């Protein structure tokens, strides 16, 4: 049998591409080098050959980049989460702007009035208000554990994060540096109890096992935590007992205000069959720009509470609302943009697919004495979305904040049909944002783009694009 040739090569990392992939170029070929930092000179091993590029891993540093720093987290080398902990924050901001520029200029050949420097986050660790940890029956073994031939306890149980590219392997985590400290206490409390009781973790490969995921959400406003434990259906007394004993452990933590037990019996990890509130009221309370929000367990809310006031303020400044204007907020979620805007204008329309988010939005409006918004739960990507929107008066301005996949052709068609004066497009994915702006460029020019860092230590970036209707001379 022909053995695969081992190819080692020295490379200089010169850039970071989309989705945080470090890039080196050698003899006309592109190499993606895992965990590389621009300026690194490294000896690498070629591990994969694709049609247009190679994939390499670092064997040795010949010269380390001046921009390289030591990662704070001991899980950094294996974890697929905070992939930029080895890059100084100054240069994280620089490369995030580069990625926005690449999406608009290089990939889509768009004209933009101005792209601002990335607006930094005031807090770059312990900022995230929601973490979803997965249980796994197949724990990922670290290189040290394999090389040292260590006896690994609890090899068939892990609670942590998925290994990048592996749906079935979980990296067991003791501490996550981007969530609050109490989140780590909750994480380890759950893990210790489950191991001591011999409760099984779910296997994504075989669809067996009880414990599936642990969602920890935090309110900065009240310093409260919501814990949502997701399991398969209870099948025995031990599993039932675990749910109650975990409740006792959580009641010892003053900051935990509510605990929910949810059941998922499907192969789909996001399908919830039922939920039961074990204590508290099943809601988390947060505040944005003096508006209080009630957030239910599965509703979307911006994940960086320390940055959210600044972010929403920047969006509102871009909208530049006038009192007599009528504004649509499409993909409105729980109303994090809509409700603050309501203080500036007379009438708004908010549309969102997720019914629980719309329920929260209506409740939040009522609780804050806001009555000038109509909220609708509807799929903005549906074939008949134009029929629905045509029932409403043409807006003066539209705010868009779609998921990472961007806008569907159906909603783009309607935007081109009604031609409102301004569109403020907020996105967590500059590639799909630029793609959609390309589809709109016949009638809209891009005045500016403001990259906004809501996700320090990662390659993710929010960006706010302001589009204006082109005034055509007849």
Segment 314-368, tens digit of pLDDT? 999 999 999 999 999 999 999 999 999 999 999 999 999 999 999 999 999 999 9
Give tens-digit pLDDT for 205-259. 888 999 999 999 999 999 999 999 999 999 999 999 999 999 999 999 999 999 9
Average pLDDT over residues 136-157: 73
Query: Of 166, 168, 133, 159, which is closest to residue 267 (Cα–Cα)?
Result: 168
All CATH 2.40.50.140 domain ranges of the chain, comma separated, are: 8-68
pLDDT at 39: 97
Q: Is 428 a catalytic residue?
A: yes
149 pLDDT above the threshold of 70 = no
pLDDT at 162: 85
pLDDT at 377: 96
Among 176, 190, 428, 437, the one annotated catalytic: 428
Separation of alpha carbons 257 and 279, rounded Å: 8
Q: How far is CA 409 from CA 145, 383, 430, 437, 463, in A?
A: 49, 9, 17, 12, 21
96 pLDDT above the threshold of 70 = yes
Give tens-digit pLDDT for 77-87. 888 788 899 99
Q: How confident is the model at residue 145 (pLDDT cuts 50, 70, 90)?
A: low
Q: Which CATH architecture has domain 130-287?
A: Beta Barrel (2.40)
Higher pLDDT, 2 or 395: 395
pLDDT at 280: 98
Q: Which CATH architecture has domain 92-123+304-469?
A: 3-Layer(aba) Sandwich (3.40)
pLDDT at 473: 56
With b meaning 16 or more CB within 10 Å and e meaning fewer, what string describes 309-345? Answer: bbbbebbbebbebeeebbbbbbbbbbbbbbbbbbeeb
Give tens-digit pLDDT for 32-43. 998 999 999 999
- Max CA-CA distance within the chain? 78
Query: Of 223, 188, 195, which is closest to residue 211 (Cα–Cα)?
Result: 195
Separation of alpha carbons 205 and 61, rounded Å: 37
Q: How far is CA 84 from CA 18, 23, 180, 459, in A?
A: 13, 14, 19, 7
Separation of alpha carbons 348 and 283, rounded Å: 25
Q: How, if at all, do strands 326-330 and 397-400 pair?
A: parallel
Please give, one letter per residue, the 3-state secondary structure of 162-182: ECCCCCCCEEECCCCCCECHH
- Does 8-68 carry CATH code 2.40.50.140? yes
Q: What is the mean pLDDT of the chain?
A: 93
pLDDT at 347: 97
- Residue 219 · residue 258 · CB < 8 Å: no
Q: What angle do CA 252, 258, 263 make, to 5 degrees?
A: 110
Average pLDDT over residues 400-425: 96
All CATH 3.40.50.150 domain ranges of the chain, comma separated, are: 92-123+304-469
Average pLDDT over residues 167-194: 93
Q: Write down the pTM of the prediction.
A: 0.91
- Residue 444 · residue 423 · CB < 8 Å: yes
All CATH 2.40.50.1070 domain ranges of the chain, comma separated, are: 130-287
Higher pLDDT, 169 or 107: 107
Q: How, if at all, do strands 347-352 and 326-330 pair?
A: parallel
């Amino acid at each position: 049998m022909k053995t695969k040739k081992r190819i080692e090569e020295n490379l200089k990392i010169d850039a970071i591409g989309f989705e945080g992939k470090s890039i080196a170029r050698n003899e006309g070929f592109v190499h993606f080098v895992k965990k590389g930092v621009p300026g690194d000179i490294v000896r690498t091993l070629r591990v994969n050959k694709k049609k247009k590029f190679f994939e390499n891993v670092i064997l040795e540093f010949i010269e380390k980049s001046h921009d390289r720093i030591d990662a704070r987290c001991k899980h950094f080398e294996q974890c697929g989460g905070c992939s930029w902990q080895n890059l100084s924050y100054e240069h994280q901001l620089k490369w995030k702007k580069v990625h926005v520029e690449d999406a608009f200029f290089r990939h889509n050949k768009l004209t933009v009035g101005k792209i601002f420097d990335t607006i930094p986050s005031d807090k770059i660790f312990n900022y995230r208000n929601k973490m979803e940890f997965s249980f796994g029956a197949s724990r990922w073994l670290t290189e040290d554990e394999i090389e040292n031939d260590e006896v690994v306890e609890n090899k068939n149980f892990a609670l942590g994060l998925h290994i990048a590219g592996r749906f079935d392997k979980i990296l067991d985590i003791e501490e996550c540096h981007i969530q609050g400290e109490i989140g780590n206490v909750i994480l380890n409390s759950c893990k210790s109890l489950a191991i001591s009781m011999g409760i099984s973790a779910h296997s994504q490969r075989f669809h067996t096992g009880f414990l599936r995921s642990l969602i920890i959400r935090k309110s900065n406003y009240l310093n409260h935590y919501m814990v949502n434990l997701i399991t398969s259906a209870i099948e025995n007394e031990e599993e039932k007992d675990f749910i109650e004993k975990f409740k006792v452990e959580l009641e010892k933590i003053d900051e935990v205000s509510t605990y929910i037990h949810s059941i998922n019996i499907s192969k789909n990890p996001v399908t919830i069959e039922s939920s039961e509130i074990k204590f508290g009221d099943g809601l988390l309370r947060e505040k944005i720009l003096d508006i209080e929000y009630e957030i239910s367990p599965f509703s979307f809310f911006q994940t960086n509470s320390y940055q959210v006031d600044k972010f929403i303020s920047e969006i509102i400044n871009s909208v530049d609302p006038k009192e007599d204007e009528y504004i649509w907020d499409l993909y409105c979620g729980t109303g994090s943009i809509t409700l603050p805007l309501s203080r500036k204008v007379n009438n708004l329309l908010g549309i969102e697919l997720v019914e629980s988010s719309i329920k929260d939005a209506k409740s939040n409006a009522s609780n804050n004495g806001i009555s000038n918004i109509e909220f609708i739960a509807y799929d903005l990507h549906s074939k008949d979305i134009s029929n629905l929107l045509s029932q409403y008066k043409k807006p003066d301005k539209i705010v868009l904040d779609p998921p990472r996949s961007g806008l569907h052709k159906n909603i783009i068609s309607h935007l081109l049909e009604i031609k409102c004066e301004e569109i403020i497009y907020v996105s967590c994915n500059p590639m799909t944002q630029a793609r959609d702006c390309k589809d709109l460029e016949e009638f809209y020019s891009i005045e500016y783009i403001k990259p906004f860092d809501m996700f320090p230590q990662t390659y993710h970036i929010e960006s706010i694009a302001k589009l204006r209707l082109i005034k055509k001379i007849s």
